[in-house]
């Protein structure tokens, strides 16, 4: 009987609660509610009765305090910006005894702190590696490795790469907290759209099963977020690689769909035309700043990533500028196939020429309001110099302007490619001395992002009043 009463209580909306239970009498802030609910979600050791009673109360308080005058927001992370989980099947053949797992449960694949331990770095790389099948013309996981992306639809999987190591794996948490302080609530009008960032998209006529399925899931999430918020269109906030996925989602759907479901697209640190940093990744490996990791141990895995091919410098954007200089050759962006052969990655040439080059040939205008926010004034690799030791050694680097990862020419590609767009549809905000990653955590950057979202939401208040 008690359970029946609890279910009935949970089904009531804020307006049907008895007067003494209505939320205006509860003195608690939105941010406190967000923290309280997250704490309750983690309290699995609680007494059963308390758990049953407190969780619905917290959910009800969240719902009653949610602001109905906000456009829903969907966060799309960048490469490496959300958690990945893996499960090993009988087909998995460990490269060493250290790589063998004695159970078949799902485990955290990214971010996994064991990558810092040299012998286990090889295990990590083996499990993360993708393989291109020329017969299927598509990518797949390593044999015996199944992967999944946890918490799709929630911000939980992209706030921290490992919630047990918050100090060193913070990603979108500061942005999520800023949104919560302004009245956004995870699962109500705030959503996350994590994905398997190893995979990418392919040009028309080529299959890309994982990436295409993600676009379908993202489209469904956008529609559901709008429908659950009285039909309001959605604000999409992307970071880095996520912006390229969003751009293709918009361009692969008709204008009527975009008009109905998309209010604004805020693109943070998007590498519209790729990066020189990516050539370093392919040539010599790149540890993403993670200490103690030998870049050569992860180079093969990084080369296998479909999305990394997507992020190589665009020939149209970088033109004849020398990007990599060796004792025998100077490579420009249009010579990428030769570059891939010379670094020992000949198997990457065919998918690059057939799947990637047509994909990056032109930045198509999505015809929705776009705000591009970028960091500037940070030394960013512009030209790589390799000596007699070849590509197995890290190069000497000449730096230029950018956000530390993406070159300024790529960050501002939309200004040259979309020069004829009216100012009402394209806005660029430059934030000095903010890096590619810190744009999600820096106080000044967060203030700019939240101001932009507040300005967009002010249109709701104007239309209601």
Residue with the larger pLDDT of the pair 399 and 17: 399
Share of the chain above pLDDT 70, in %: 83
Q: Which segment of 47-56, 283-292, 435-444 scores lowest on mean pLDDT?
A: 47-56
Across 381-388, average pLDDT? 98
Identify the burial level of 320 via C-beta atoms within 10 angstroms of its C-beta, where 0-12 means exposed, 13-18 middle and 19 or more buried: exposed
Structure tokens at 360: 């990056």
- Chain mean position to CA 42: 24
Distance between CA atoms of 245 and 202, rounded to whole angstroms? 11
Residue with the larger pLDDT of the pair 135 and 420: 135
pLDDT classification of 16: cutoffs 50, 70, 90? very low
Does the structure show a pLDDT above 70 at 32?
Answer: no
Contacts of 44 (CB under 8 A, 6+ apart): none
Does the structure show a pLDDT above 80 at 25?
Answer: no
Distance between CA atoms of 131 and 275, rounded to whole angstroms? 23
Give per-residue pLDDT as tens, 96-138: 888 988 778 999 999 988 888 888 999 999 999 999 999 999 9
Cβ atoms 118, 294 nearer than 8 A: yes
pLDDT classification of 422: cutoffs 50, 70, 90? low
What residue has token string 């032109």? 362
Across 389-399, average pLDDT? 97
Structure tokens at 176: 């999520």
Beta bridge partners of 286: none
> Within 10 Å of residue 324's Cβ, how many Cβ atoms?
25
Does the structure show a pLDDT above 50 at 172?
Answer: yes
Across 81-110, average pLDDT? 91
Distance between CA atoms of 79 and 111, rounded to whole angstroms? 12
Contacts of 238 (CB under 8 A, 6+ apart): 75, 76, 77, 78, 245, 246, 265, 266, 267, 268, 270
Distance between CA atoms of 441 and 175, rounded to whole angstroms? 7
Across 402-408, average pLDDT? 98
Across 235-250, average pLDDT? 98
Identify the pLDDT of residue 50.
44
Catalytic sites, residue numbers: 240, 403, 436
When the pLDDT of each residue in the chain is averaged and rounded to a whole number, the result is 87
Does the structure show a pLDDT above 90 at 225?
Answer: yes
Instruction: Give 206-213's long-range contacts (Cβ < 8 A, gap of 24+).
Output: 206/137, 206/138, 206/354, 206/355, 207/136, 207/137, 207/138, 208/138, 208/139, 208/306, 208/355, 209/138, 210/139, 211/245, 211/306
Q: Which segment of 6-10, 122-126, 257-261, 339-343 scores lowest on mean pLDDT?
A: 6-10
Does the structure show a pLDDT above 80 at 58?
Answer: no
Structure tokens at 265: 């697209």
pTM beyond 0.75: the answer is yes
């Amino acid at each position: 009987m008690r359970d029946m009463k609890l279910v009935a209580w949970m089904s009531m909306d804020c307006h049907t609660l008895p007067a003494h239970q209505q939320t205006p009498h509860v003195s608690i802030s939105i941010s406190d509610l967000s923290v309280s609910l997250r704490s309750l979600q983690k309290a699995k050791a609680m007494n059963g009765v308390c758990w049953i009673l407190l969780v619905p109360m917290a959910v009800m308080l969240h719902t009653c305090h949610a602001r109905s005058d906000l456009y829903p927001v969907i966060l799309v992370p960048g490469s490496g910006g959300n958690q990945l989980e893996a499960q090993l099947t009988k087909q998995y053949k460990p490269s060493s005894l250290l790589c063998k797992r004695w159970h078949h449960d799902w485990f955290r694949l990214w971010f996994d702190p064991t990558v810092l331990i040299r012998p286990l770095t090889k295990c990590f790389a083996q499990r993360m590696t993708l393989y291109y099948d020329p017969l299927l013309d598509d990518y797949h996981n390593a044999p015996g490795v199944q992967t999944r992306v946890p918490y799709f639809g929630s911000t939980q999987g992209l706030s921290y790469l490992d919630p047990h190591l918050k100090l060193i794996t913070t990603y979108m948490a500061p942005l999520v907290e800023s949104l919560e302080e302004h009245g956004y609530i995870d699962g109500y009008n705030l959503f996350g759209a994590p994905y398997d960032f190893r995979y990418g998209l392919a040009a028309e006529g080529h299959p890309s099963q994982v990436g295409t399925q993600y676009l379908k899931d993202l489209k469904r999430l956008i529609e559901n977020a709008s429908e659950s918020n009285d039909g309001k269109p959605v604000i999409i906030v992307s970071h880095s690689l996520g912006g390229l996925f969003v751009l293709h989602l918009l361009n692969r759907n008709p204008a009527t769909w975009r008009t109905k479901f998309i209010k604004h697209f805020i693109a943070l640190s998007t590498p519209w035309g790729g990066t020189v940093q990516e050539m370093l990744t392919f040539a010599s490996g790149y540890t993403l700043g993670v200490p103690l990791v030998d870049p050569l141990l992860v180079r093969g895995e990084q080369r296998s990533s479909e999305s990394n091919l997507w992020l190589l410098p665009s020939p149209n954007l970088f033109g004849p500028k020398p990007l990599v200089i060796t004792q025998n050759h100077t490579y420009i962006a249009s010579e990428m196939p030769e570059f891939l052969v010379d670094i020992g990655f000949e198997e990457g040439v065919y998918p690059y020429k057939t799947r990637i080059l047509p994909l990056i040939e032109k930045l198509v205008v999505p015809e929705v309001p776009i705000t591009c926010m970028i960091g500037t004034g940070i030394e960013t690799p512009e030209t790589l110099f390799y000596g007699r030791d070849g590509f197995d050694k890290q190069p000497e680097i000449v730096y230029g302007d950018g956000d530390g990862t993406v070159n300024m020419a790529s960050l501002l590609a939309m200004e040259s490619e979309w020069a004829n767009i009216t100012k009402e549809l394209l806005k660029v905000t430059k934030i000095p001395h903010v890096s590619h990653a810190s744009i999600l955590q820096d106080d000044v950057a967060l203030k700019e992002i939240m101001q932009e979202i507040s300005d967009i939401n002010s249109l709701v208040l104007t239309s209601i009043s």
